[in-house]
Structure 1
Amino acid sequence: MKEEVKNITREEIFRTIYEIKPPTIFLSRNKNISAELFDRYKEDIEFKDIPRHVVDAFLAAEDEDFFKHKGIDLSSILRAIVRNILEGKIVQGGSTISQQLARNLFLTRERTIQRKIKEIIYAMKIEKELTKEEIFSLYVSLIYFGNGSWGIKSAARNFFGKDVKDLTIAESALLASLPKSPVYYSPINYPEKARARQLWVLKRMLELGSISFDDYRKAVDEKIRVRAWESKFHKYFWFNEHIRRELVNLIGNEQDIKSGFVVKTTLDEECYKYADEALKYGIERAEILNGQNIAKSAEDIKFKIKEIIFPEMHKIYEEEKKPSIARVIETSASGIKIVLDSGEKGNIHPDFSNIKLKVGSEILVKPCPDPKFFCPIPEKIEIEGAIIVLDVKTGDVLCTVGGYDWKKSQFIRSIQAKRQIGSTIKPIVYTAAILSGLYNPATVVKDTPIVFEYESEEGETKEWKPKNIESFSGWVTLQEALAKSINAATVRVAEDVGIGKIRETFKSFGIGAPVEDLTVVLGSISLSPLEVSEIFSTFPNNGKKKKARFIISVERNGDVLYLQEPEENQVITHDISFVMTWMMRNVVLHGTGARAKALGIPIAGKTGTTNDLRDAWFVGFTPNIIVVVWLGRDDFKPIGNYGSGPKIAVPVFVEFMRKYMNKIGKPDFDIPENIEFLKIDPLTGEISNDPRAYLMAFTRENLPTHDEKMNKDFTGF
């Protein structure tokens, strides 16, 4: 056994400590550190800078005879041996502070007799080479306290927002409670267990004579504000987790990526914050609208905790997520009125005016994104969602959120989930129609019931009858068919253009799904939100499709190991891309995306809803960003009666843009010289000054075949 333990000197010990590799850091596009990856992390502290009561707290918790023994405590080891024999396995270590330092520096954490013997030998060697003060300061610099905190400096800062020198006795006892099991005694996740352990440490300090009885009583009763610190990696989890996985692919393995790389990413922190808030709001809203029970107590819901006040265990929630108990005092056609437990009166958001609530019932609410109203909080979350935001000009992914709560699932739906896209595919179908030369936005299309016969795999003749969400209108323009997402008209257009032209256009946009029958034109194919964002980048980017980029470069020691330049390819002409953009602009102005019109900026987009309301989509874009929103259930069950793209996906987009548009401004789409605008009746396709008529965009080679034309001086949106 001894020959397996290397001989160590004072220099060897410190060399091992200083060989702890620097962390890998992720940098946002704003040059801020957005994440750190490391195996171990250290912040040096000298013994003279540690208050005596902090030292005493750790001695009481971990090794009361530290300043007396020579590295091992035989009585502790004997107690551990007896218990391990009784249990038939290693369940208790009996390790001194010196042994723990030895384990952290030279050994693994496996629980075996052999490792324990090595630990004892190394501890005695360390005791010969270092002073007790050096051993203690190294120990508290290297141990893990949980919640991303390595070392006592980090723990004091993250849990209390303090320097070590400012820690109180009560705070010191709480920190000293954590190294034994940072997860089990987490003061945020398990405050009662942490409190019990803290009281035990304080009692041991009293019994050991480290503190007086008065100090003990004050510490027991002291109010401590424990912060729910969140690591930067978890703050931007969905984006950072994808970067981490990509880095593994680039570098080779999980271990190597944690040492000294500088990864420059495309993340915009504001974008992530607003996207995360908007998606959570949208999912909670969708749950309530689709029949989920409203919560009655804050204890039923896992709200984001800002801090916990000991010893009362009073939880303070993030201000924007602060829940309140409300009592319903009035329900009427004008809305639902409530009074909070604080006495404040308010109104439930009009979106929820149809939910059934009785006067006198108590519900849990929180402020809506629109602060004039309160939103009910669902009892549980079963609907999921995703959002991804792409920079049109570079392809940079500014942010992505892959689900409601990463702690429940790390499946990044915005990137990994392949879902049927429904009517979101229609702009590609209509692009094929425009490219064919058979159609322009004013071309009148028949919107009546249509039946297709096909032979099943069993050889039976069956029928496919495309249905509209609303009733059939008889005749509509191509523009109106897209704006209102009319299925029957779309299928007729595709049949006329031909499956070959549809297949060719899909391929040019990079859609690899097989195009074998007309069901694809209503979105029977499955794509991820990431793929959808790349496809739609073609329209605002003058016909050029962008490749999404998350990582700009990877560097180490000043050397660039990986560099990704923006990539794009020309799919359609600028003229055609603008015609399609203008058609999708009218989806927002006059069609299924009308809720986004209230933002008051140039927006184009397309909604999507799949069969049985399983998936809800909205793709919205401005001249500089694309936002893709998806909501659905992981088990592919229907969302509910209120599960369409216009009803639950568009509101997520609106909520995100309401905040983020202040950063991106209100630019107009570029209008090519070859574009002419005419005011067209959306039902007849004729040039008209009728109030229902609106502007449509045409290339000069594909104008309406009417004798009369309007000269329209158009300068922007």
Structure 2
Amino acid sequence: MKKAAKISIICVIAFIITVAIAVGFFFIVISPNVNMFNSPDLNLEQLTSYSRTVTILDVNGNPIDDALYDNNKLYVKIDDLSPHTVNAFIAIEDKRFYRHSGIDYKRMASALLYNIKSRKFKEGASTITQQLIKNTHLSNEKTIKRKINEMRLARKLERIYDKNQILESYFNILYFGSGIRGLGTASRVMFDKPASELTLAQSAALASVINNPTKYSPYNNFDNLTRRKTLVLKQMREQGFISQSEYDDAVSEEIVFNKDKQNQFVAGLLRSACTELKCSEKSLFINNYTFKTTYDPTVVSAVRTVIKNTDIDGHVRIVVLDNASGGIMCDETNTSGYLNPQRSPASTIKPFIAYAPALENGLNPLSQICDEPTTFGDYSPANYKDVYRGYISLKECLMYSSNIAAVKLLRQNGIENSVAIAKSFGLPFSNSDISLPIALGGMEKGVTLLELANAYRTLANGGVYSDIHYFQSATEGNIVRHTVNDTARRAVGGDTAYLLTDMLRECAVNGTAKKLKYSGIIAAKTGTNGDKDGNTDCYCIAYTPKYTVAVWFGANEKPLENSVTGATCSALIREICEQGAIKSDIPFDMPDSVAYYEIDNLELKNSHNVYLADPLLPPRYRSRALLSKRHLPIRKNIDIVDYYDSNLWNSDEQSNFDRFDIFDSGVD
């Protein structure tokens, strides 16, 4: 018995010694004067340098006029903040802030026990001082080495700075999501007021956001934010910062976030930069990046005016691209969070999935298709309002957006071949998309508006695809990283691209996008997705020789009214053109691979086949048509000798018009 007691005593003593050694070693490791890992030391300049921001330059080289990039004019001083603002952050983030020396050992032990019990690292124990160190000196990597260095530097900082200095630095480095850094900027952007004027409820809301800017986003997850705001207020009440009546008033106070200040372009650029530069958004700010862009204030102003005047109970997004560079000139929405969903493209996919493959395979704009009710196995598509026009040309099929014609072309071209060509325009597809409904936009995941806009930009660029981008260059100190666009590739022939452009110009004059008839040189296509209960997606994608503009209406909580269609979207593009932002009177460059030819209208009427006109065919039976030189139709009567090559109609050969006096494009 005595032997067992001795063994127990020895074990207890050994355990105590082991714990003492471990604790002693721990305090040595985190001692401000010890740097076992040769880690970065405390740099006060990183705490006092308040110009940690991102600068975005527009197409003219001027900074974008946005509070986020106002060169720290929104820096807040601790003495200007009300006590309830300061206490809201202390209550939820570090309630023993004024009682510890950089590390809250009690909270750390509690978090350790909780994590051991849950077998997950759910509970954190970082103090405000540690958060300040991590966000100004260290990375976000979850390693023991990083954590130990964070604790060491936190203890060292507490020996140099007083609590108010630490708080002031902390408030000016906090990240609130959507590129918003610093309490002063967050207050101005979200509430359009200085931080000194924040109410108790607003302070609690901002203190909630920083825990997880995505999960508690006021624009995308308002319910989550409301619940956490109540938790913050509850902590403030329990810690004696506010009374019960103040708690009740703040809980019931309606918080309205300013939605006008959110910048879709900025949010998209920051996301894109993180991907291309392989870094976190935090790193962009810490390293003071400067981005050169094609952001055009004139275009943006016109688009914002149009969106402001648009009465749509749903999402609105307008994108404008520079065709030559691929730069995104404008990306605006009527929402506050970044909006880039994958949606059904509806009929806007038809040029790429049906008509481009058809032209590549030898058909031409005059090729005839019978537009009539048709069942394809167990698939029975229908035209809009069940309107069918019999035999009409490909140009007319596209102009009227015939669903039957699109499905027929897809089947005739081969679904896999058509998808391959559409992919070359940058459009994504899933394996489940390989079926006939894809001709009308039936896709599992859909496409983004940027992907769709870039597909049409490819047509404007003569069939050459390249990626689009939010910025042209990114500068960090003396290091300049230019956007290298090495993705240029030919999607379709220049002849196919030009013929499609000519067909889409007709769509903008007499077709579904005819509201653009007097908007200059422009090609366009509309699309509408929905049913009798309402529409879910409406589009108009248009392009001039210099610009591509895409407009999308999307259902939010309920479908859009059936009166809202792709034609409604085209009216917005017309308004943008009327403001002079993108209107063009310069024609598209016609490649040498296409030319004007004379067509036999008698055969077109009687047999629905396209033939080149015989030289002796009377002028009244001929018409002028734009065709690809590599897919020329033959003459009906090949025995007639072409003694005069008058079939080629180039734009500079006006003599051909005089010789044949051919102005009648119809059939007697």
Alignment TM-score, normalising by the size of structure 2: 0.58
1:652 correspondence with 2:604: no
Say if 2:389 is the partner of 1:473.
yes
Q: How does 1:200-219 map to 2 (within 5 A)?
A: none
* Contact residue 537 and residue 552 of structure 2 kept, 8 A: yes
In structure 2, distance between residues paired with 1:585 and 1:668: 13
Q: What does residue 2 of structure 1 align with?
A: 27
Q: Which residue of 2 aligns with 1:413?
A: 342
Task: Give a deviation string over 1:606-663, Cα, whole Å, max 9, x none.
Answer: 345689898765432223222345677899xx989949xxx62232232244135521
Q: 2 CA distance for matches of 1:587 and 1:411?
A: 27
- Contact 1:54/1:172 (<8 A) preserved: no
Query: Which of residues 63, 75, 81 is equivalent to 1:32?
Result: 63
**One of 214, 236, 239 as aligned partner of 2:268:** 239
Partner of 1:343: none
For the residues of structure 1 that align with 2:423 and 2:107, how far apart are their CA atoms? 73
> CA–CA distance in 1 between the matches of 2:409 and 2:122?
71
Q: 1:566 to 1:625 in 2, by over 3 A?
A: farther
- Displacement of 1:586: 1.8
> 1:57-96 residue pairs with structure 2 within 5 A?
58=86, 62=90, 71=101
1:586 and 2:506 matched: yes
Residues 59-93 of structure 1, C-alpha deviations (whole Å, 9 max, x = no match): 798599999978599xx998999999999999999
Report the 3-state secondary structure (helix = DSSP H, G, I; strand = E; otherwise coil) of the residue aligned with 1:239.
Answer: helix
Correspondence for 2:15: none
User: Shift of residue 558 of structure 1?
Assistant: 2.3
> Which residue type is aligned with residue 548 of structure 1?
D
- Tell me the CA shift for residue 559 of structure 1: 2.2
Does 1:129 pair with 2:129?
Answer: no
Shift of the alpha carbon at 1:7? 1.7
Task: Tell me, yes or no, if the aligned pair for 1:421 and 1:609 is still in contact at 8 Å.
Answer: no
Q: Displacement of 1:274 after TM fit?
A: 6.7
Structure 2 CA distance for aligned equivalents of residues 664 and 241 of structure 1: 26
Change (3 A) 1:125 1:241: closer
Q: Aligned ranges for residues 635-650 of structure 1 at < 5 Å? A: 642=562, 648-650=565-567
Shift of 1:552: 1.9
Note the C-alpha offset of 1:2. 0.9
Q: CA RMSD in A?
A: 6.9
Mapped partners of 1:85, 1:410: distance in 2: 41
Amino acid at match of 1:669: P
| Aligned pair partner of 2:522 in 595, 603, 610 | 603
What is the identity, as a one-letter code, of the residue corresponding to 2:583?
A: G
Q: Distance in 1 between matches of 2:158 and 2:270?
A: 41
Tell me which of 421, 426, 447 is aligned to 2:370: 447
The answer for the alignment partner of 2:326 in structure 1 is 395
* Paired letter, 1:262: T
1:666 to 577, 584, 589: 584
Aligned to 1:342: none
Contact 1:423 1:608 in 2 (8 A): no
Match in the other structure for 1:556 = 476
1: distance between equivalents of 2:416 and 2:139? 62
Contact 1:593 1:605 in 2 (8 A): yes
Whole-angstrom distance in 2 between the partners of 1:98 and 1:537:
50
Q: Distance in 2 between matches of 1:517 and 1:601?
A: 37
Deviations 1:170-223 (A, max 9, x none): 759965995487579999967899799889989999999xxxxxxx99xx99xx
Contact 1:57 1:173 in 2 (8 A): no
Q: Deviations over 1:409-454 (max 9, x none)?
A: 976427x999993466444255347xx3x7554x6x352658798x
Which residue number corresponds to residue 14 of structure 2? none
CA distance in structure 2 between the partners assigned to 1:465 and 1:225 by the alignment? 51
Change in Cα spacing, 1:468 to 1:707, as seen in structure 2 (3 Å) is farther
Distance 1:25 1:227, change over 3 A: farther
SS in 1 for 2:325: coil
Shift of 1:703: 6.7
2: CA distance between counterparts of 1:649 and 1:103?
50
Q: Distance in 2 between matches of 1:176 and 1:698?
A: 67
- Structure 2 vs 1, CA of residues 29 and 91 (structure 1 numbering), >3 Å: closer, same or farther? same
2:549 corresponds to: 627
Q: Secondary structure at the match of 1:537?
A: helix
| Residues 256 and 450 (structure 1), Cα distance of their counterparts in 2 relative to 1, 3 Å cut | same
Identity of aligned residues (%): 18
* 2: CA distance, partners of 1:252 / 1:148: 14
Write the distance in 2 (CA, Å) between the matches of 1:77 and 1:500.
Answer: 65
1:406 to 1:447, Cα distance in 2 relative to 1, 3 A: same
TM-superposed deviation, 1:230:
6.5
- Asked if the contact 1:147–1:231 (Cα under 8 Å) also holds between the matched residues in 2, the reply is no
**Partners in 1 of 2:48 and 2:141 — Cα distance?**
24
Q: CA deviation at 1:695?
A: 8.9
- Residue of structure 1 aligned with 2:292, choices 245, 259, 264: 264
What does residue range 313-712 of structure 1 map to in structure 2 within 5 Å? 320=308, 369=310, 377=313, 388-400=319-331, 412-413=341-342, 421-422=349-350, 425-429=353-357, 431-432=359-360, 436=362, 439=364, 441=366, 445=368, 447=370, 449=372, 462=377, 468-469=383-384, 470-486=386-402, 506=421, 522=439, 528=447, 529-541=449-461, 543-550=462-469, 551-565=471-485, 577-597=497-517, 600-608=519-527, 618-628=540-550, 642=562, 648-659=565-576, 662=579, 663-670=581-588, 672=590, 701=647, 709-710=660-661
Q: How many Å separate the matches in 2 of 1:130 and 1:706?
A: 87
**Which residue does the alignment assign to 1:295?**
none
Contact 1:148 1:231 in 2 (8 A): no
Distance 1:709 1:495, change over 3 A: farther
Structure 1 residue 17 corresponds to structure 2 residue 42: no
Q: In 2 relative to 1, CA 256–482 (structure 1 residues): closer, same or farther, beyond 3 Å?
A: same
Q: Quick one: distance in 2 between partners of 1:171 and 1:518?
A: 57
Considering fraction of residues, name the structure with more helix: 2
**SS of structure 1 residue aligned to 2:464:** strand
Change (3 A) 1:18 1:42: farther
CA distance in 1, matches of 2:435, 2:167: 73
**What's the secondary structure of 2:472's corresponding residue?**
strand
Q: What is the CA deviation profile of residues 470-505 of structure 1, one whole-angstrom value per residue up to 9, with x for unaligned ones?
A: 444343344333322345566778899x76998699
Shift in CA distance, 591/688, structure 1 to aligned 2, threshold 3 Å:
farther
**2: distance between equivalents of 1:508 and 1:100?**
46
Residue correspondence of structure 1 range 108-257 to structure 2 within 5 A: 126-130=157-161, 134-135=165-166, 137-142=168-173, 150-151=181-182, 153-154=184-185, 157-158=188-189, 167=196, 175=203, 179=207, 228=257, 235-236=264-265, 239-240=268-269, 242-244=271-273, 246-248=275-277, 251=278
Partner amino acid, structure 1, of 2:508: V
Is there any run of 5+ residues in structure 2 with no aligned partner, and where?
A: 1-25, 35-40, 629-645, 651-655
> What is the aligned partner in structure 2 of residue 305 from structure 1?
none
Which structure has more strand as a fraction of its residues?
A: 1
1:269, 1:130 → 2: CA distance?
Answer: 43
Structure 1 residue 396 displacement after superposition: 2.6
- Are the aligned partners of 1:466 and 1:487 in contact in 2 as well (CA < 8 Å)? yes
Q: Give deviations 1:283-334, integer Å, cap 9, x for gaps.
A: xxxxxxxxxxxxxxxxxxxxxxxxxxxxxxxxxxxxx5xxxxxxxxxxxxxx
> Normalized against structure 1, the TM-score is what?
0.55
Whether the aligned pair in 2 keeps the contact of 1:546 and 1:567 (CA below 8 Å) is yes
Contact 1:467 1:487 in 2 (8 A): yes
Pair 1:420–1:520, CA change in 2 (3 A): farther
Matching residue's letter, 2:549: V
